[in-house]
Amino acid sequence: MTAGNEAQGVRWDLSDLYSGPDDPQLEADLSAVLAEAQSFEKKFRGRIQIAGGPPPGLVAEAVAEMERIIERLGKACAFADLLHASDVTPPAHGALVARTQEQASAVRQSLLFLELEWLALSDADVEPALNDPACARYRHFLRSMRRYRPHVLSEPEEKILEEKANTGTRAFTRLFDEVLSSLTFAVEVDGTTQQLNESEILNLMRDDKRAVRQAASDALTRGLRANELLLGFIFNTLVQDHSIDDRLRKYGDPMQARHLANEISGQTVAALMQACEARHDLVQRYYGLKRRLLGLQELADYDRYAPISQEPDAVPWARGRELVLAAYDAFSPRIREIAELFFTRRWIDAEARNGKRGGAFSASTVPSLHPYVLLNYTGRMYDVMTVAHELGHGVHQYLSRQQGYLQADTPLTTAETASVFGEMLVFEHLLREVAEPKQRLALLCNKIEDTIATVFRQICLTRFEQKLHQARREQGELSRESICDLWQSANAALYGDTVRLTDNYRWWWTYIPHFIHTPFYCYAYGFGELLVLALYETYRREGAAFVPRYLDLLAAGGSDTPENLLRPLGIDVNSPGFWQLGLEPFRKMVEEAERLAG
């Protein structure tokens, strides 16, 4: 199998973090950080929660010191995670992840009092600090922390939950990652049986030969079902854990904790989901068109990603890189410059190889350093879009470092802004280069499919997850078959009768990492994509004047709520018409594709 070799040898250099798992500095940091956290606790405990509120200068000093401690810890944790992601097989890598997680827990235990004391204060008692210039840098952090006020438990309770999570949720999450990363799928291609990893087998679903896609679907399902007991158990356990958390922390519904973390209201998300579900007709129209273009009697689930036209030759790594950088450059030379650093300074691990984590991500690490990007580049146009996507994250994380560890990260809802915007730039760049109608149609279909995957499918996954959590609460532990039923019916609502969902498809909830890592993550993709479609419309109208405001948005990181940060760009996420604004360009794309197809 040659897939995966296009980026052979492109591996990241993690030495900006540590020289290796045996670097003495790593152990030194891990030990020192705990001592620092303990002396921090000695110094500040009991001085925040005081009658009349703490002096603003003291609050600022405490937060700054805490930020230094968790940044030092974050560096060690980031290294362990990246090392583990680059190869999950050596026991030393797993052991290091466990070691950093344990140390992180111990550190968090010592720091916990600060948040609890801050939350215990009345609104009137925190006002002086919130309005004092000394706390200006941390204002949003201090203010937004208080939104958890109704949901925190007592300090001893929080400590127990924190420590037990290492053998609870975190352990199950790691088990899931390790099982998925070590799975191989036996598939026969051109007469020979090959053992493929998850990324490679999913890639075969994009093959132009239907028999190959079908074989890949069978092989994927066989591999997953060989582990269905284990995967089903992990799902059930984590869904149950979520409901225990919600009960203990008094969250009214399974999504409320995520909405709070996302700094978005449940009503806004409900409106987003309904707006998308009301346009399933567009999705179904597209798949009707796709069936005709492929010349098939019916479209099965494994045909959804079939190429419309002959896939052009593999895009070599160097060409993919140039495409993305050129598209970024046309929008903003500054963004190109930052994106280029990932390649020249080896902040990127692009080759697909066994033992490496599947998929792609950008890890922000710590503000004093820089992000790292992981890809599994196999040379398809889809992979080029993934490069654009992850570098978008990378640029965003790079620019927002100036906000410091506590305020650099955005909530999930806006975390996908720069990544999806980056994909949009590459799409428009390619569209400018191509005049031939057939090629334009192919490009357009790719973009439509991408939007379906990022908006409609993610909303569908969220709906499934919502039903899953609800069913667990009402019925107790769920059989694997009943999870399959929930999955199938949520998907049937999206695809209608334009896509036949096979019995294989029933099992494909088992490998989706978001359900495991971050429940209800998926709607943030839909939010992000529609937001970007709206932002891109603004850019089309305003041209160059838009660029500096966009850069400001990225550099602002998580220093304010999404609502406030987006306002200068003319976006109001709470207005009901906003989602329509994002769906409108999608409708035009589907109509344009129908027109080009004749």
Residue ranges in contact with Zn ion by CB under 5 A: 419
Smallest separation (angstroms) from Zn ion to the CB of 527? 12
Instruction: Please identify, using beta-carbon distances, which residue of 4 and 392 lies nearer to Zn ion.
Output: 392
Task: Point out which residues pair with 186 in neighbouring strands.
Answer: 195
Instruction: Please identify, using beta-carbon distances, which residue of 446 and 458 lies nearer to Zn ion.
Output: 458
Give me Rg for the CA atoms of the chain: 24
- DSSP label of 500: B
Smallest separation (angstroms) from Zn ion to the CB of 419? 4
The CA distances from residue 471 to 215, 236, 273, 509, in Å, are 33, 11, 20, 16
Smallest separation (angstroms) from Zn ion to the CB of 513? 12
Smallest separation (angstroms) from Zn ion to the CB of 415? 7
Smallest separation (angstroms) from Zn ion to the CB of 524? 9
Rounded to whole angstroms, the Cα distance separating 390 from 210 reads 30
Rounded to whole angstroms, the Cα distance separating 526 from 496 reads 20
Rounded to whole angstroms, the Cα distance separating 241 from 11 reads 37
Positive/negative CA dihedral, 88, 179, 9, 415: negative
Instruction: Please identify, using beta-carbon distances, which residue of 60 and 264 lies nearer to Zn ion.
Output: 264
Instruction: Please identify, using beta-carbon distances, which residue of 53 and 392 lies nearer to Zn ion.
Output: 392
Rounded to whole angstroms, the Cα distance separating 224 from 510 reads 7
Instruction: Please identify, using beta-carbon distances, which residue of 255 and 420 lies nearer to Zn ion.
Output: 420
- DSSP label of 250: T
Rounded to whole angstroms, the Cα distance separating 533 from 530 reads 5
Tokens found for residue 301: 């689930």
Smallest separation (angstroms) from Zn ion to the CB of 414? 12
Cα angle 63, 414, 396; round to 5: 75
Smallest separation (angstroms) from Zn ion to the CB of 392? 8
Q: Cα 280 to chain center, whole Å?
A: 24
Cα angle 412, 353, 522; round to 5: 20
Smallest separation (angstroms) from Zn ion to the CB of 454? 9
Rounded to whole angstroms, the Cα distance separating 204 from 305 reads 10
Residue whose C-alpha is closest to residue 412's, from 388, 393, 398, 399: 393
Positive/negative CA dihedral, 452, 173, 9, 353: negative
Instruction: Please identify, using beta-carbon distances, which residue of 86 and 419 lies nearer to Zn ion.
Output: 419
Smallest separation (angstroms) from Zn ion to the CB of 322? 22
Smallest separation (angstroms) from Zn ion to the CB of 389? 6
Q: Cα 393 to chain center, whole Å?
A: 10
Smallest separation (angstroms) from Zn ion to the CB of 348? 15
Rounded to whole angstroms, the Cα distance separating 532 from 482 reads 36
**Judging by DSSP bridges, how do beta strands 348-351 and 372-377 pair with one another?**
parallel
Q: From edge to edge, which strands make up the β-sheet containing 372-377? A: 348-351, 372-377, 361-363
Residue nearest to Zn ion (CB): 419
| Residue 349 φ/ψ, nearest 5 degrees | -120, 105
Smallest separation (angstroms) from Zn ion to the CB of 474? 33
Q: Mapping DSSP to helix (H, G, I), strand (E, B) and coil, where does residue 175 land?
A: helix
Instruction: Please identify, using beta-carbon distances, which residue of 391 and 444 lies nearer to Zn ion.
Output: 391
Q: Do 375 and 362 touch, CB atoms closer than 8 A?
A: no
How would you class 287 by CB atoms within 10 Å of its CB: exposed for 0-12, middle for 13-18, buried for 19 or more? buried
Tokens found for residue 555: 């550099």
From the DSSP assignment, how many helices (H) and strands (E) are in the chain? 26, 5
Q: Do 411 and 261 touch, CB atoms closer than 8 A?
A: yes
Instruction: Please identify, using beta-carbon distances, which residue of 100 and 419 lies nearer to Zn ion.
Output: 419
The CA distances from residue 198 to 41, 286, 344, in Å, are 45, 27, 29
- DSSP label of 456: I
Smallest separation (angstroms) from Zn ion to the CB of 528? 8
Instruction: Please identify, using beta-carbon distances, which residue of 460 and 522 lies nearer to Zn ion.
Output: 522
Instruction: Please identify, using beta-carbon distances, which residue of 419 and 458 lies nearer to Zn ion.
Output: 419
Instruction: Please identify, using beta-carbon distances, which residue of 199 and 419 lies nearer to Zn ion.
Output: 419
Instruction: Please identify, using beta-carbon distances, which residue of 53 and 411 lies nearer to Zn ion.
Output: 411
Instruction: Please identify, using beta-carbon distances, which residue of 66 and 412 lies nearer to Zn ion.
Output: 412
Smallest separation (angstroms) from Zn ion to the CB of 280? 24
The CA distances from residue 450 to 168, 250, 326, 443, 454, in Å, are 35, 37, 21, 11, 6
Instruction: Please identify, using beta-carbon distances, which residue of 300 and 373 lies nearer to Zn ion.
Output: 373
